[in-house]
């Protein structure tokens, strides 16, 4: 009596039965449960005819080798659990199950079935495509395979073959990757999303995204591998920047366009905090930061917002790296955790530093922004290109003139020069972001002389800048209370008499 082989949907999609017959592995009766025909019909009606072609090839090769093909009906018509129904049919017939899905194979073996789980060799090996300077591999049916070569900000797209890919090639390749992933889940692999038309998973250093119709207009496979792992010292940051990151920065945004090294810097910062004996966690989707085992990586896609919130509060991290902040729920979680006192480092897509700040500013009152974000690191071509800090003061905002229009204003400064770059304030019901004009020093003008005469009596060091009819006084933090008690009223009288505006800004003078 010949053996029975029950074929599941994945084996038809990958057209594996002809390969098994030609290799002499299958030598018996081939059984197709009729629920698989219902699945093939549904796929074909949605434009996916791959399994239909697989069935045609199966019939052809079985006729050539004189193998019987039979169709059995269990009476089940619902496709909700069709994979389990196929396993059950194989169990009833005491048949071997032919499958190309690792989870189905493991489940069938667990209930005592003999499984034929053998894939034909793939068109190419992914490891061979990732040479030392390849950032990512981009594969799509109907197109030639391409790789992105270079480094963040300096890359080019290169064809690695002139032969367009077929859907079957990509299905087989993803099957091989999934086989390897299922053998090391929880150790070297993490499955983030597993849906019929979308798979996202991490395999060793590779982040893999696979999409099928109708989600995408064709089967597409994108594989990304980080080229480098850098330490914070590799960025050659000035000492005052490192000191701020270590001692003062609690709400950090790492901003920049895609592919400019934001996650690499976030990874370096996470490791730096870990080396400072800080408790560090990450929120990722997918989990693709390469960090030490002491740093726990939480999956955003595998949890609910409240779960992450509760876990992070109860585990009491010193810093949480949020890679990447995208939708409204991400912003809400970042803001809420920051208000709870957790040091937050958020990675965010933005074309300029102020764009990153505005994305947070649109979520909260202006007065709360410096409590959420105090430092913005902007990445360009893999390096730190700009560092902004945020401070709150009460003043007449840039662009307004009358003294009675003074209001809470967030000043965005270049950290290394101390130069104000932007001001954020509310006027009416709108939040305005205004670039600050570059000021000019005018220590010899009459209003400046009058103001200096008063300041010299009470404050040993300060700086004055004048921009049109506004005089800005920078007072060291340690003297600011003296300024308020001894100087402010006197200077306001001078300002009214000379018809100028006066603004006093507390600051650390050695960062000016």
Same domain, 363 and 263: yes
Nearest to 437 by CA among 424, 452, 421: 421
> Over the stretch 363-400, which tens digit does the pLDDT of each residue have?
888 889 999 999 999 998 888 999 999 999 888 887 67
The answer as to whether 288 is a domain residue is yes
Provide the token pair at 231.
């330490």
Q: How far apart are CA 115 and CA 305, in angstroms?
A: 40
> Over the stretch 207-263, which tens digit does the pLDDT of each residue have?
889 998 778 888 899 998 875 678 999 998 999 999 999 998 999 999 999 878 898
pLDDT of residue 391: 92
The band of 464, judged by pLDDT with boundaries at 50, 70 and 90, is confident
Same domain, 347 and 318: yes
pLDDT of residue 443: 43
- 487: Cβ–Cβ under 8 A, 6 or more apart, which residues? 454, 455, 458, 459
- Is 410:423 a contact under the CB 8 Å cutoff? yes
Instruction: Supply the mean pLDDT for the chain.
Output: 86
> Over the stretch 437-458, which tens digit does the pLDDT of each residue have?
754 444 457 788 888 888 988 8
Q: Which of these ranges, 80-89, 100-109, 188-197, 483-492, has the smallest mean pLDDT?
A: 188-197
- Is 182:101 a contact under the CB 8 Å cutoff? no
> Over the stretch 421-435, which tens digit does the pLDDT of each residue have?
999 988 877 888 888
Residue 8: helix, strand or coil by DSSP?
Answer: coil
CATH number reported for the structural domain that contains residue 371 in this entry: 3.40.50.300
Same domain, 36 and 168: no
Half-sphere exposure at residue 506, Cβ-oriented, CA atoms within 13 angstroms: 13
Helical axes 353-361 vs 328-339, angle rounded to 10°: 80
Q: How far apart are CA 87 and CA 107, in angstroms?
A: 9
- Is 382:355 a contact under the CB 8 Å cutoff? no
pLDDT of residue 502: 87
Say what the alpha-carbon torsion angle 55, 60, 64, 70 is, to the nearest 10 degrees: 40
The answer as to whether 121 is a domain residue is no
The band of 185, judged by pLDDT with boundaries at 50, 70 and 90, is low
Q: Which of these ranges, 96-100, 122-126, 272-276, 351-355, has the smallest mean pLDDT?
A: 122-126
Same domain, 307 and 381: yes
Same domain, 263 and 220: no
Domains in the chain, number = 4
Same domain, 178 and 267: no
Domain boundary among 224, 256, 281: 224
> Over the stretch 319-329, which tens digit does the pLDDT of each residue have?
999 988 988 88
Domain boundary among 202, 224, 246: 224
Number of other CB atoms surrounding residue 462 within 10 Å: 20
The H or E element containing residue 296 is strand 296-299
pLDDT of residue 187: 63
Instruction: Quote the pTM value.
Output: 0.65
pLDDT of residue 401: 66
The answer as to whether 91 is a domain residue is yes
* Residue range of the domain that includes 500: 446-511
The answer as to whether 441 is a domain residue is no
Average pLDDT over residues 182-187: 68
């Amino acid at each position: 009596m010949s053996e029975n082989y029950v074929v599941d949907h994945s084996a038809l999609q990958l057209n594996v039965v002809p390969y098994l017959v030609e290799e002499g592995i299958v030598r018996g009766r081939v059984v197709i449960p009729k629920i698989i025909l219902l699945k093939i019909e549904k796929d074909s009606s949605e434009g996916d005819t791959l399994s239909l072609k697989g069935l045609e090839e199966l019939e052809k090769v079985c006729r050539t080798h004189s193998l019987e093909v039979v169709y059995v009906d269990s009476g089940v018509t619902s496709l909700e659990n069709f994979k389990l129904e196929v396993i059950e049919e194989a169990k009833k017939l005491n048949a071997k199950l032919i499958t190309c899905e690792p989870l189905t194979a493991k489940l069938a073996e667990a209930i005592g079935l003999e499984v034929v789980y053998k894939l034909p060799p793939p068109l190419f090996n992914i490891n061979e495509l990732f040479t030392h300077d390849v950032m990512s591999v981009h594969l799509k049916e109907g197109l030639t395979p391409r790789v992105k070569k270079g480094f963040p900000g300096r890359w080019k797209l290169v064809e690695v073959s002139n032969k367009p890919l077929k859907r079957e090639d990509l299905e087989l390749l993803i099957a091989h990757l999934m086989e390897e992933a299922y053998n090391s889940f929880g150790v070297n692999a993490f499955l983030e999303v597993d849906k019929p038309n979308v798979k996202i998973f991490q395999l060793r250093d590779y982040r893999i995204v696979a999409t099928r119709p109708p989600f995408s207009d064709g089967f597409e496979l994108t594989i990304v591998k980080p080229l480098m792992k850098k330490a914070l010292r590799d960025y050659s940051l000035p000492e005052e920047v490192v000191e701020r990151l270590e001692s003062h920065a609690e709400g950090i945004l790492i901003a920049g366009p895609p592919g400019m090294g934001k996650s690499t810097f976030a990874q370096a910062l996470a490791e730096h905090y870990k080396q400072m004996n800080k408790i560090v966690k990450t929120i990722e989707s997918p989990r693709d930061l390469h960090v030490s085992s002491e740093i726990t990586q939480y999956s955003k896609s595998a949890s609910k917002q409240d779960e992450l919130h509760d876990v992070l509060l109860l585990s009491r991290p010193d810093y949480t790296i949020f890679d990447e902040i995208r939708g409204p729920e991400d912003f809400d979680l970042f803001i809420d955790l920051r208000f709870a006192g957790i040091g937050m480092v958020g990675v965010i897509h933005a074309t300029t530093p102020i764009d990153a700040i505005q994305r947070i500013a649109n979520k909260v009152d202006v007065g709360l922004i410096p409590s959420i974000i105090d430092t913005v690191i902007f990445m360009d071509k893999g390096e730190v290109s700009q560092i902004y800090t945020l401070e709150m003061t009460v003043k007449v905002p840039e662009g307004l003139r009358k003294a009675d229009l003074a209001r809470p204003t967030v000043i965005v400064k270049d950290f290394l020069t101390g130069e104000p770059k932007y001001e954020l304030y509310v006027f009416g019901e709108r939040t305005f972001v205004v670039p600050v004009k570059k000021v000019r020093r005018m220590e010899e003008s009459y209003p400046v002389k009058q103001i200096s005469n008063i300041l010299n009596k009470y404050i040993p060091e300060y700086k004055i800048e004048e921009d049109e009819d506004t005089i800005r006084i920078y007072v060291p933090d340690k003297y600011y209370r003296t300024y308020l008690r001894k100087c402010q009223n006197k200077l306001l009288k001078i300002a009214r008499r000379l018809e100028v505006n006066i603004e006093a800004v507390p600051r650390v003078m050695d960062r000016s």
